[in-house]
Amino acid sequence: MDIIKENKNICIDCKSRLELLQEAMNLSITENALLSRPRRVITFGIPVRMDNGEVSVFNAYRVQYNNALGPTKGGIRYHPDVDLEEVKTLAFLMALKCSLAGLPFGGAKGGVEVDPTKLSKGELERLTRGYVREIHQLIGPNIDVPAPDVNTNAEVMAWFVDEYSKIKGEFLPGVVTGKPIILGGSEGREEATALGGAFVLKRYMEKIRGSKKNNKKPITVAIQGFGNVGGNLGKILDDWGHKIVAASDADGGIYKSTGLDIKSVCNTKDSRCKLHEMKNVKRISNEELLQLPVDVLIPAALSKQITVKNADKIKAKTIIEMANAPISEEADKILADKKITVIPDVLANSGGVIVSYFEWVQNSDNHYWSKDKVNEMLKEKIEKAFDNVFELSQKTKDSIRISAYSLAIRRILNAEKLRGTIG
Ligand code: GLU
């Protein structure tokens, strides 16, 4: 009974996600207690000497949610809205994502409450090095392995690995993934999340369309968020002959019913797509983009974009969650009532962490693979995860999200049982 009374440390959002599974999984009180709170939460302040000579202290977090399957794994985000509850949920989702993809990793997430656009490059570097100094004893290639997330990238990972290696006195590239290739990064990691999402979408279309002839028919797509994930996915789907009719970034969106000319704004040197430079398009808001009557809607920006406020106005037939947690729990129910299929984040955007795993393996072997090999192995792994989930959902008639969560949690609990933690 003590377990039930002890509600401290609970991840409220994770607990309610677990409740959705109750019918499908019948989790015991102990299993619920184990899964509804993170194993380790680190909150800390990072003092940073700013360019003007003054010191600012930033709130920072690292949540290591579950490590039954192996070292914990997950990105670090820099964003003004970062808070502990959100980081806990994102760490929980990472645990499910790694499990579902069959990786030997647990789940974690980190974040710093900061608006990185207001910091100079030097300040960002000192902030990152400060983050490492505060938690270096609690991370490591076999403990917890961070990676890029919202507003962090290969350059940030390079500072990270440099600071960590200096503290430890040896080069330890496996402490983070998503590094520049010259510092032990993997070919294909940059585009991996997008490519994984494209493979998932293709597989899903093959399953629901069946016949070969039908498979070739282009689909109409709207993408919210055109950064690394959304932009690369837009490029891939455009290359595959699909019609990207709308796209948006923080400055707003653009729309053209006959399809946007993605190549004209994406082939820039810095690989960023400059949406605002596109000619002959209609300007739309992010909100309008979400409500377009397209075959596939792809939220690839931040969390909680589809909520009770707009869920009943969504007209897409399918939603692929490329951002983490872009749909609120209540909105998910509304979408299900409207018979809109949602391919959840833990499956759709797992390409990033799958190739992170390949990077980590290459670091420990000191042997590096070609891009073709990485992409081929990504395809194999993500299609297998998709097939397992789809098959289960066909059998049980549960949603793809419930099926994905069940498979992921079953694997984590099996590992916990074999370790002797429970059961
Ligand atoms: N931040 C990415 C995610 O949410 C990648 C995590 C990783 O590679 O560890 O999946």
- The residue nearest atom 9 of ligand 1, judged by CA position, is 74
The pLDDT value given to residue 270 = 60
Question: Which ligand 1 atom is at minimum distance from the Cα of 148?
Answer: 1
Q: How many Å lie between the centroid of ligand 1 and the Cα of residue 413?
A: 22
What separation in Å is there between the alpha carbon of 193 and the centre of ligand 1? 8
Q: Final residue of a domain: which of 145, 173, 201?
A: 173
Residue at a domain's end among 173, 205, 231? 173
> Do 208 and 152 belong together in one domain?
no
Residue 412 lies in a domain: no
DSSP symbols for 319-380 = EE--SSS-B-HHHHHHHHHTT-EEE-HHHHTTHHHHHHHHHHHHHHHT----HHHHHHHHHH
Q: In terms of domains, do 98 and 222 share one?
A: no
| Residue 185 forms part of a structural domain | no
Same domain (yes/no): 267, 146: no
Give the domain CATH number at 81: 3.40.50.10860
Do residues 154 and 201 share a domain? no
Count of the separate structural domains present in the chain: 2
- Report if residue 127 sits inside a domain: yes
Q: Is 168 in the same domain as 59?
A: yes
Residues 154, 278: one domain? no
Compute mean pLDDT per 10 residues along the chain, 423 residues long, and list them. 63 94 92 96 98 98 98 98 96 98 98 98 98 98 97 97 98 98 98 98 93 72 95 96 95 94 77 82 95 98 95 98 96 97 98 98 98 98 98 96 98 98 94
In a domain, 194, yes or no: yes
pLDDT in the model for residue 186? 98
At residue 25, the pLDDT reads 93
Q: Are 195 and 350 in contact (CB under 8 A)?
A: no
pTM, two decimal places: 0.96
Q: Tell me if 403 is assigned to some domain.
A: no
365 part of a folded domain: no
Q: Do 201 and 169 reside in the same domain of the chain?
A: no
What is the CATH classification number for the domain harbouring 290? 3.40.50.720
Contact 88, 121 (CB under 8 A): no
Are 140 and 258 within one domain? Answer: no
Around ligand 1, the residues with Cβ closer than 6 Å are 73-75, 147, 149, 177-178, 324, 349, 352-353, 356
Q: Please tell me the distance between residue 327's alpha carbon and the centre of ligand 1 in angstroms.
A: 18
- Host domain of residue 195: 190-348
d(CA 416, CA 423): 8
pLDDT attached to residue 214: 59
Find out whether 345 and 97 touch, Cβ atoms under 8 Å.
Answer: yes
Q: Is position 2 within any domain?
A: no
196, 339: one domain? yes
- Final residue before a domain boundary, out of 144, 173, 202: 173
Please state, in angstroms and rounded to a whole number, the distance separating the CA atoms of residues 131 and 414.
Answer: 34
335 lies in the same domain as 206: yes
| Residues 6+ away with beta carbon under 8 Å from 300 | 223, 224, 225, 226, 227, 229, 230, 233, 322, 323
145 with 194, same domain? no
* pLDDT score, position 271: 62
Let me know if residue 16 belongs to a domain.
no
